[in-house]
Structure 1
Amino acid sequence: MQSLFQILMLLLDIVWFFILAHVIMSWLINFQVLNLQQQFVAQIWYGLNRLLEPIYSRVRQFLPPMSGIDLAPLVVLVAVYALRIILINNAAAFY
């Protein structure tokens, strides 16, 4: 059961990394540090969007419209961190 706990923690870490990479890339694209005309940057950007947009769209259904501010990544990051806390506090159930 300990391996199940470690796998769940690894999956949450991967999701955390992807969301953080997506947020940082969106800032760099908006500040024109990165250019979507470059094929490598565009592939990473569209790949991250395809992975994360289903999660963000479900969260956006519950968030009120905020003119120009997308809080969905923040809500998902908080949810991932809360799941990590719940798993760590209940780690004894996995042993």
Structure 2
Amino acid sequence: MKIKRLIAVLMTTIMLFGSIFVNLSLAAEPVEGLMGEVHLSLDKTTASIGDIITATLHIKGFDVVAGYQANIKYDPQVLQPVYLDETPYDIGSAVEIIIACT
């Protein structure tokens, strides 16, 4: 029983250290003078009831983007997310994404 426990602890330790070093080795080396940018812009800063405000996430200055997550907090009593065809999101809605490369 003690040997099984020792092997389990040893294997867990090896996996933890192994994943740390793999993650460090996969990190991109920074290039001097280059810095990527990520920002969110809105097409208007004021709106009336029924108006649609379009939020655009701009990503530039990266050779490769493996993924990005943006969380937007809003008051659901004031704003409601909608799809491009203006159908409202519900609890199970998937995010609609349009990618434009320039």
- Superposition TM-score, scaled by structure 1 size: 0.25
Q: Which has the higher strand share?
A: 2
Structure with higher Rg: it is: 2
Q: Which has the higher helix share?
A: 1
- Superposition TM-score, scaled by structure 2 size: 0.24
